[in-house]
Structure 1
């Protein structure tokens, strides 16, 4: 038969040592008002009894949890995993921990998660808004209440009071498509994500701008905006797209690494040679493209650095004096094209 173990409290340690709860609390905080010998006794007893500090209780007295809330649209996207790694590394180096949650690409869940964060669990928030986030009133409300916020990636409009970390998606896409054009490709397909998402809108703008700049025709048939938010269905969408084409593309610009790899998988499945018949460029350069055969040419996005910069900006806000107004900062990171075997 199992048993339920009661969590050890400060009063339990105090009772065993026959001292006050206040003394135990001060000793665990290494308060100089408590003698070193008493501190040592308290720490030893706490260890023997298996005492674990109550973070929520500590935050009530200090007003800080030293926890950063991170809200991303999905867990299965390598880009967001890499950004979170960057946030975590910088945060831990500055004595903060991170609490990651997903909005599951839902504006409703985004708001619910932010409400949970607001209820005292985190000191500040790093957020990538969903494609459904057209109204930022909920973010402005948090900022007006004093919650430090940093936004990254899919920022539909600038939010006053929140710092931003971004890349120039349109410029990066223009350069990738221009690279394909300069290699002699004239029937270039576009594969992006859901139309409502700002980053995919900007990458599509870069694609059509590059075609127009070089007088290359835009074939509507060669444009796919994936509606799926699940990898299994994205795979099927891309396969159906290529099987249904009447025009054979000689190159593909894919808006993520995932779309790029699924594109190459599909092209090989239907008997196309890469890059002899079809060249492929992805966007992200987050690792898997280097081990696929052929290796994937990518727009290299500084995802890890984006996470580091987001954490740096947030912690800077957390350390600012409450007496001064926060000066909004926008960091725009550079991308580069990494050429591999797929082009």
Structure 2
């Protein structure tokens, strides 16, 4: 029979050294009220016994965990991976760690994750709302309780007291479609994500605005709003879309890198040449577009920088004690069109 090893507690160290628990606690906190010789004994004994401090108990006394909670809609999206890298990079430079949780594109899971973080596990929260998030009452409630919050990406409405970091998706999309139009393209297809997600709504708006400005007709059969939240089925949707088109487009603007790469894969499978027959532009520029053949022209969004910026804004809020009337900051990051082989 095997026995699970019990976690070493302060009282175990105190019993071993025949001193009070309070003295052990103060020694581990390097309290000057405890002699250096005693501190040294406590640290050596704690290490020998395999003592690990209880972070939650420590946070109850200090009011801080030095942990930032991050809630993202999905783990498998390169954009969110890159944002989390940026958050972690900035946080660690300022002595914070991050705890990442996925809402799995569910409003209910988003609320559950927020509720878990609210219970003192984290000092503040960074959140990208799901496409199902139509009310921000749960976030406003967190803010009212004095927990700092920063929102990024898919923000359907402004939330007072929470800083926002975004890109201007409509303007970015407009510039990409305008580029295609100025290259002489007349049948420009649009491939976006689920209709309910604000960033996809904004990117579709940019597409429509550019087409309208230059009097280019919009064909319903050249527009696809993917409904799947799974990469495998996104491929099926895009494949079916191109299989059904009778008159092909001469260009395709897609709302993510993934849609762009899947578009090129399916067009090449059907025998089209890129960019000779059809030009393709993606959105994100998260690394994969460079290694595909032909390489993918993209709207580059500063995902890593976005992560750094949301972490910076949150940590800045930590330095505003008792500021219940925190003045919201909105930061709009710039994008650029990175030209590669998929456009002429």
TM-score bracket for the superposition, by shorter chain length: over 0.9
Structure 1 unaligned segments of length 5 or more: list them. Answer: none
**Are the equivalent residues in 1 in contact too, given 2:146–2:322 (CA < 8 A)?**
no
**Are the equivalent residues in 2 in contact too, given 1:222–1:247 (CA < 8 A)?**
no
Match of 2:84 in 1: 84
Shift of 1:38: 1.0
- Secondary structure class of the residue paired with 2:120: helix
CA RMSD of aligned residues (A): 0.9
- Secondary structure class of the residue paired with 1:210: helix
Alignment of 1:148-227 (within 5 A): 148-227=148-227
Alignment of 1:56-71 (within 5 A): 56-71=56-71
**Are the equivalent residues in 1 in contact too, given 2:146–2:324 (CA < 8 A)?**
no
Match of 2:45 in 1: 45
- Secondary structure class of the residue paired with 2:90: helix
- Secondary structure class of the residue paired with 1:33: coil
Number of residue pairs the alignment of both structures matches: 343
Shift of 1:205: 0.4
- Secondary structure class of the residue paired with 1:64: coil
Q: Tell me: CA distance 1:240–1:137, structure 2 relative to 1, closer, same or farther (3 Å).
A: same
Q: String of CA shifts for 1:284-336, please: whole Å, max 9, x gaps.
A: 00001110111110000000000000000001111112156311100000000
**Are the equivalent residues in 2 in contact too, given 1:222–1:245 (CA < 8 A)?**
yes
- Secondary structure class of the residue paired with 1:24: helix
- Secondary structure class of the residue paired with 2:158: coil
TM-score (norm 1): 0.99
Match of 1:317 in 2: 317
- Determine the C-alpha separation between the residues in 1 that align with 2:2 and 2:314: 44
Q: String of CA shifts for 1:147-177, please: whole Å, max 9, x gaps.
A: 1110000000101110000000000000000
- Secondary structure class of the residue paired with 1:236: helix
Match of 1:104 in 2: 104
TM-score (norm 2): 0.98
- Determine the C-alpha separation between the residues in 2 that align with 1:58 and 1:100: 21
- Determine the C-alpha separation between the residues in 1 that align with 2:196 and 2:100: 24
Poorly superposed stretches of 4+, deviation over 6 Å: none
Match of 2:326 in 1: 326
- Determine the C-alpha separation between the residues in 1 that align with 2:76 and 2:187: 31
Match of 1:273 in 2: 273
1:240 aligns with 2:240: yes
Q: String of CA shifts for 1:114-171, please: whole Å, max 9, x gaps.
A: 0111111111100000001011111111111111110000000101110000000000
**Are the equivalent residues in 1 in contact too, given 2:161–2:325 (CA < 8 A)?**
no
- Determine the C-alpha separation between the residues in 1 that align with 2:224 and 2:247: 13
1:95 aligns with 2:109: no
Shift of 1:247: 2.1
**Are the equivalent residues in 1 in contact too, given 2:298–2:338 (CA < 8 A)?**
yes
Q: String of CA shifts for 1:169-215, please: whole Å, max 9, x gaps.
A: 00000000011111111111000000000000000000011111111
Q: String of CA shifts for 1:227-282, please: whole Å, max 9, x gaps.
A: 00000000000000000112210110000011111111111111111111111000
- Determine the C-alpha separation between the residues in 1 that align with 2:2 and 2:267: 56
1:291 aligns with 2:325: no
- Determine the C-alpha separation between the residues in 2 that align with 1:58 and 1:70: 21
